[in-house]
A and B are shown apart, each in its own frame.
Chain A
């Protein structure tokens, strides 16, 4: 049987399980997740075997959908790579879901939507015409919206759902316009005819901008990111992991499919726009993340940051491709795709970990947690691995993709355009800044949540989570570790993808010894995660041996010293907002208008002192609030026209007709 038939059939089965899941409670609570795990694993196996076999693209036309076009499906190396991301995330989220939920009574409402949501994402990846693509895309938006508002009693969730729905509609509309532009007046919505069409430069540029806005609003590019930190945390944790770790990647897929596959070679200014948006996104995202106290919202903002890194890689790939430097374009594209894979691993891991914290303690505000490493030791280990990975520290996987991105940036001077010559080093500086801030952000996340003393009763009485959650956490941790120490295998697996999109691939691992990664053949720069890990382990063991052989082994546990003034209350520890204070003061005053307000009572007064921080989200106040105001103003002006007499409406129709006739007459 053909792999595409297998994949599409399994996707249909996934979608079909929505029906029994929404009608039969037994099916939904007991059978749904195991079935999802099995179907996703099957899809994963198909995608992996297709990607590794390097076979030619498969196509299939189903007799449903638009007349004359039908539903065209296609499986190539790009869609199979993203299929791996989607189905790995889907399988693990479903497995995690088996044990998740006792603390969350609204979780069962989200459950039936999970398989059909996964099916919609698979449909987007397989789509080979604009109609099928948009069908899957809109299905993905709508179904994830349903899961965001699964706990609709909370006002915040309803607001998040509303904003999400608006932004998703906007994004879908823009993509529709983009496809309409590409289809031309002939209405050729099949991707093969779009690909073959001769596109003028303005048309390709406009379509690329529309794709960037449409896919970027789904992925969370600044300034279209405002829905993301509201919607992702509102859903149950396994759905949050799917939305952050997987759905944003489908959006990235949409952009790659349009920009690299359908549109052909870009021009340099298009890549400049993508690069700048990526750079701004990664800095703004991480600064926002740094200032959050809600664990899940912090992770959602960090997703925005990582999307920025991915788009930097994509922008570089476009720039190098526009200059005909295929090998460097392959390097930048590999960096972006590897970061897609890595981010799906560690962001799922962290969201699952946040879900474990939530179910273990009932809290997701880190300022009310603390000391969980003693109560949830296994979750703490897995979460630490996730934090180290996302902070891009060697020898774990986040570092590898950032290293590749840096290597691509360093080849930027070879670009001939001045705009890019100035932009690329600035982008490199922004990426470096973001990388350092992410480390600070995740020291805060881990330190405040898991280390120190418990700040509340909830944190003190937290308990370790069920075996399914822990297994999922450890599977993802192991994958992060493997992807960090032998990145060569993953880079090699990406070879066919870059080969099909930019015509070259990175140097294969077998031509190099010792699992070394080099950015270009013949380059002197190299990175070897395995050797580095072994080196660190050996030196650590030698150090530990030396200390244990020669140093004193006496240990005396006592209370903390703290310079002689230990405060008895655990609230004297650094919390989330106090940890962020230096960064807030250095960056926040300019970018977020951050102000600290201290209300200190005079000597003799008995009222308590108060301290609060005010922040302004300029994207919201400068961009969205004016739009909302304009809409309100316009609707207030149009409102009087709703209740006129029939004579006036007839008069309007008459004058409209006259005006139209004049226009037609002038046109000819």
Chain B
């Protein structure tokens, strides 16, 4: 019994530590790539680690009016995002807590994190906090159903909403060329960009007043609180990349925790895919301009409709097969 549990526990803890360690690296790679594409030298890919450390050793400067929500929210955001990231298989399935939450619950956990952050934005009582919170909730009101359409499509292909089972299914079953999968691929990209505040939805590097969304919410944060929130944002990006890899590039994912070389191979493959994804994101971001806030609704609405179309196709084809 105890020996049976050992590999899942080890995989679970290893994965939780891995996602935290790799998250700033991914941000560093994206920033470095973007700098190189703009013919700048750019900071080292390890700079985000130093940034986090710098923020941690600085004092925090909360406003007079803030309540306990402001102080607790960063930890809520971080821990729910961390749990969600821990439930997504990265290089191996068969995690300890995989039964606790499926893909719908992971979407729900991210919604909890967003809820806490939006409340924290409102807590200070400034116009920017409210602006960020209100825009973030508008974007999520379209991105979350779009994400659930992706979940529905995959759940209907694999007959489960359980992410590890979906990944195993997609890695090992020949499903052929699925039109629905291609449609939700586009939807997922739109959701990934929106939920992580990337260009063209939001610009993570801006403090230009009228265009910021995520940055406006966390405008008043400083010191260790800001470090925790930044780490959570990086973690969320890793999470979305991992889900992306699970769903659309699951090849090489380790499904049995028996042999050490296989695990190592899966790990190296995962890291390579992750960093390659970061480079691709940076190239994409460099090529497009940020859109106006109210164009976001059209962008995400299109994603939502594509997702719905994918689900409808699957619903319709189910009876035919």
Contact = CB atoms under 8 A, between A and B. Distances in A.
The answer to whether A and B belong to the same complex is yes
Interface of A: 370-371, 373-374, 384, 388, 391-394, 399, 403, 406-407, 409-410, 412-414, 416, 418, 421-422, 424-426, 428-429, 432-433, 435-437, 439-440, 442-444, 446-448, 451-453, 514, 516, 523-528, 531-532, 535-537, 539-540, 543-544, 547, 550-552, 554-563, 566-567, 570, 572-574, 578-583, 585-586
Given A443-B137, A531-B97, A552-B58, 11 more contacts: A429-B307, A429-B311, A432-B144, A444-B134, A447-B122, A451-B119, A452-B125, A547-B75, A554-B59, A554-B223, A574-B122
A266 B128 CA distance: 53
Q: How large is the interface on B (under 10, 10 to 19, 20 to 34, 35 or more residues)?
A: 35 or more
A289 to B, nearest CB: 13
A579 B152 CA distance: 30
A410 B119 contact: no
Given A436-B144, A535-B97, A567 B127 contact: yes
A271 to B, nearest CB: 16
Nearest to B121: A447
A540 B79 contact: yes
A540 B76 contact: yes
Interface stretch (B40-48, B64-72, B238-246): B64-72
A586 B65 contact: no
Contact of B141 (A410, A436, A453, A543): A436
24 contacts: A370-B125, A391-B115, A407-B161, A410-B152, A410-B161, A428-B148, A432-B145, A436-B142, A436-B145, A440-B137, A452-B129, A535-B83, A536-B79, A543-B82, A551-B224, A558-B64, A559-B63, A567-B126, A573-B125, A574-B127, A574-B130, A574-B133, A578-B130, A583-B138
A399 B294 CA distance: 29
A447 B100 contact: no
Listed from nearest, the 6 A-B pairs whose CB atoms lie closest are A574-B130, A447-B122, A554-B59, A413-B318, A452-B125, A582-B138
B271 interface: no
Contacts of A421: 315-316, 318-319
A413 B314 CA distance: 8
B138 A532 contact: no
B214 interface: no
Contact of A524 (B101, B129, B160): B160
A527 B163 CA distance: 12
Contacts of A451: 67, 69, 119, 122-123, 125
A448 B101 contact: no
Given A371-B65, A436-B111, A414 B137 contact: no
Nearest to A526: B99
A560 B125 contact: yes
Given A410-B152, A453-B125, A526-B99, A557 B63 contact: yes
A508 B76 CA distance: 32
Given A406-B148, A410-B156, A425-B311, A443 B118 contact: yes
Given A414-B318, A421-B319, A536-B80, A555 B62 contact: yes
A660 to B, nearest CB: 55
Interface of B: 16, 56-65, 67-69, 75-76, 78-80, 82-83, 86, 97, 99-102, 104-105, 108-109, 111-112, 114-115, 118-119, 121-131, 133-135, 137-138, 140-145, 148-149, 152, 155-156, 159-162, 165, 207, 209, 219-220, 223-224, 227-228, 293-294, 297, 304, 307-308, 311-312, 314-316, 318-319
Contacts of B56: 547, 550-552
Given A523-B160, A527-B101, A435 B144 contact: yes
Contacts of A561: 61, 63, 219-220
Nearest to A567: B127
B133 A425 contact: no
B130 A439 contact: no
Contacts of B109: 394, 532, 536
Given A393-B111, A451-B122, A452-B122, A574 B137 contact: no
A528 B165 contact: no
B315 A447 contact: no
A524 B315 contact: no
A432 B149 contact: yes
A646 B223 CA distance: 92
A581 B135 CA distance: 9
Contact of A425 (B138, B209, B312): B312
A403 B223 CA distance: 37
A391 B82 CA distance: 21
A403 B104 CA distance: 7
A370 B123 CA distance: 10
A325 to B, nearest CB: 14
Contact of B133 (A433, A526, A531, A579): A579
Contacts of B68: 373
A444 B145 CA distance: 19
B162 A572 contact: no
A391 B141 CA distance: 12
Contact of B155 (A410, A437, A543, A582): A410
Contacts of A447: 118-119, 121-123, 130, 133
Given A448-B122, A536-B83, A562 B127 contact: yes
Contact of B79 (A371, A392, A432, A539): A539
Contacts of A399: 105, 108
B319 A560 contact: no
A436 B131 CA distance: 18
Contact of A433 (B59, B141, B156, B311): B141
Contact of A544 (B75, B100, B118, B124): B75
Contacts of B99: 514, 516, 526, 528, 531
